[in-house]
Amino acid sequence: MIGPMSKDLSMRKFLADKVRLWMGRVPAADTQAKLAARAKMSQSSIHRVLHQDTEPELTTAYKLASAFGISIAQLLDDNDAEGIAAFPVDPKRFARLPASEKEKIRAFAEFVVAAYEASTGGADELKSLSETIPATDDERSLVERVAQRDLTTDTLSEHETNSQPARRRGKIRGASNSH
């Protein structure tokens, strides 16, 4: 059985680790002094949290989360590895995407990372990647419908909008040529 002191120490460590993680993610709160100012706490209080010298309180966690610009739930999320909260997409919305759409996002992220590494010299060797992601049934259906439409004079050219009718060439019916 885990005694109360062990549990308290683990909560202290948990909060300290989370605060350190978020200090690394938020440049405006990357030092104890900056974090203290943003959290409206004393720098010694921040020091005590980081060194596990204080009991974690909800009000303290709330002030720290606010200083990082996140919710208290995000600060205390124990599933937050080094990338989940930094992921620029809402995980719940991402989870609802079909596998083909998730694959597109993964492929694009890989491309951006590889391009960045190549530009900064961080990549060991520049690799050429080529991958074809098949169109979904919805995408295929949309393309087929668009391809089957007849082109008419009602079709807009690139520079026209729905509010600008195309100019007609030639004579306007009913108009006379006399001056």
Instruction: Convert the pLDDT of each residue in 54-74 to its tens digit.
Output: 888 889 999 999 998 888 888
**Are residue 27 and residue 54 in the same domain, yes or no?**
yes
Domain CATH number, residue 13: 1.10.260.40
**Are residue 68 and residue 109 in the same domain, yes or no?**
no
Residue range(s) defining the domain that contains residue 99 = 88-140
**Are residue 30 and residue 9 in the same domain, yes or no?**
yes
**Are residue 110 and residue 52 in the same domain, yes or no?**
no
Average pLDDT, the chain: 76
- With respect to residue 114, please indicate whether it lies within any of the assigned structural domains: yes
Q: Where is the domain boundary, 43, 75, 107?
A: 75
pLDDT of 6 above 60: no
Q: Name the DSSP letter for residue 134.
A: P
Q: Contact at 8 Å (CB) between 56 and 12?
A: yes
Tokens of 177: 């040529």
pLDDT of residue 48: 94
At a CB cut-off of 8 Å and minimum separation 6, what does 35 contact? 19, 23, 29, 41, 46, 64, 67
Q: Contact at 8 Å (CB) between 72 and 30?
A: no
pLDDT, tens digit (0-9, with 9 covering 90-100), for 88-103: 666 667 777 888 887 8
Q: Is 121 helix (H, G, I), strand (E, B) or coil?
A: coil
pLDDT of residue 41: 94
pLDDT of residue 156: 55
Number of domains observed in the structure of the chain: 2
**Are residue 55 and residue 9 in the same domain, yes or no?**
yes
Cα distance between residue 152 and residue 173, in whole Å: 20
Stated pTM of the model: 0.44
Which of 29-38, 114-123, 142-151, 155-164: highest mean pLDDT? 29-38
